[in-house]
């Protein structure tokens, strides 16, 4: 169990998800870390780390915890980082041997969060999401946050710059929609932007944009969402997406009243009791 509890309490939680398209280049790692530092996330989901060993790590003063699911070099790989300013306790972690997901169960201010970082296959297979669903059913949690690169959109009309209504496009959405519906999740960005259009990924072969990077949240987070944004497509061909949640602040501890025993030796107090 990893625990880090700084002296100050946080009022909000910022999560960030980013398909970085490889972290093996020292120059690129430096750029990624510099950009992350400007966004000030508390929790980071990274996809396509391209790490081949669990010993690979990012090094930065703000990182208080990290775990990753490596795969073969230049393929797949997911990682979750936690900011040391977050008063967290890690209760459990699971890293997929196929480099497709990383799960961290953490506690923050008495609330349990199941963090699930996903890098879905392309095209996304229903079996992958069905197996992931079965894995997540093993956990008991207050809040569930699933983020990452789903390699599919939820809405072929609103989430693509070129409307995709082909059978292949519709089939690609089946997996993410299965997970969303069976876990009763909602799309954080779409919650903030019901009819909005913005995109997190640019496909060079198709010369098109799509919103395939997102956060799906359990209904327990519904009233906690403050903001959800899509950043610039920068460094990678994916944009970082962020989510801000309001944290439930713990109630102040009530102090038990104690009778001041010194009054027992006060003649005035004794006289008052006799008159009463």
Q: Is residue 2 part of a domain?
A: no
182 is annotated as contributing to ligand binding: no
Inside any domain, residue 253: no
| CATH number of the CATH domain containing 157 | 3.60.10.10
What total of structural domains would you count in the chain? Answer: 1
Q: Is 259 part of any domain? A: no
Q: Is residue 20 part of a domain?
A: yes
Q: Is residue 29 part of a domain?
A: yes
Ligand-binding site membership of 48 (annotated): yes
The response to whether 149 counts as a known ligand-binding position is yes
**3-state secondary structure string across the chain:** CEEECCCCCCCEEEEEEEECCCCCCHHHHHHHHHHHHHHCCCEEEEECCCCCCCCCCCCCCCEEEEEEECCCCCCCCEEEEEECCCCEEEEEEEECCCCCEEEEEEEECCEEEEEEEEECCCCCCHHHHHHHHHHHCCCCCCEEEEEEECCCCCCCCCCECCCCCCHHHHHHCHHHHHHHHHCCEEEHHHHHCCCCCCCCEEECCCCEEECCEEEEEEHHHCCCEEEEEECCCCCCCECCEEEEEECCCCCCCCCCCCCCHHHHHCHHHHHHHHHC
The parent domain of residue 40 ranges over 8-248
Among all residues, which ones are annotated catalytic? 119, 149, 238
Would residue 148 count as lying in a domain?
Answer: yes
256 is in an annotated binding site: no
Any domain includes 196: yes
What's the predicted TM-score (pTM) here? 0.87
pLDDT tens over the chain, length 276 residues: 676 655 456 789 999 999 999 999 999 999 999 999 999 999 999 999 999 998 899 999 999 999 999 998 788 999 999 999 999 999 999 999 999 999 999 999 999 999 999 999 998 789 999 999 999 999 999 999 999 999 999 999 999 998 755 666 677 789 999 999 999 999 999 999 999 999 999 998 888 999 999 999 999 999 999 999 999 999 999 999 999 999 986 655 555 556 666 656 666 656 666 665
Judge whether 223 is annotated as a binding position: no
Query: Could you tell me if residue 254 is inside a domain?
Result: no
């Amino acid at each position: 169990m990893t625990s880090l509890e700084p002296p100050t309490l946080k009022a909000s939680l910022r999560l960030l998800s980013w398909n970085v398209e490889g972290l093996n280049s020292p120059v690129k790692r430096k750029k990624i870390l510099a950009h992350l530092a400007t966004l000030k996330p508390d929790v980071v989901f990274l996809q396509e780390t391209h790490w081949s060993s669990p010993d690979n790590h990012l090094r930065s003063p703000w990182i208080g915890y990290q775990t990753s699911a490596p795969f073969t070099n230049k393929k797949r790989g997911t990682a979750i980082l936690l900011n040391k300013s977050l008063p967290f306790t890690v209760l459990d972690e699971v890293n997929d041997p196929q480099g497709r997901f990383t799960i961290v169960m953490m506690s923050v201010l008495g609330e349990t969060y199941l963090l699930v970082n996903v890098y879905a296959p392309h095209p996304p297979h229903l079996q992958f999401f069905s197996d992931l669903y079965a894995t997540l059913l093993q956990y008991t949690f207050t809040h569930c946050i699933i983020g990452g690169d789903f390699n599919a959109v939820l809405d072929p009309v609103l989430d693509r710059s070129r409307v995709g209504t082909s059978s292949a496009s519709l089939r690609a959405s089946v997996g993410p929609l299965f997970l969303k519906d069976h876990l009763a999740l909602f799309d954080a960005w779409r919650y903030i932007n019901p009819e909005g259009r913005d995109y997190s990924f640019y496909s060079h072969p198709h010369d098109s944009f799509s919103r395939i990077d997102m956060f799906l949240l359990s209904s327990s987070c519904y009233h906690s969402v403050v903001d959800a944004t899509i950043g610039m497509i920068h460094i990678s061909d994916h944009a970082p997406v962020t989510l801000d949640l309001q944290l439930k602040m713990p109630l102040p501890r009530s102090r038990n009243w104690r009778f001041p025993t010194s009054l027992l030796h006060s003649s005035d107090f004794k006289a008052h009791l006799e008159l009463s």
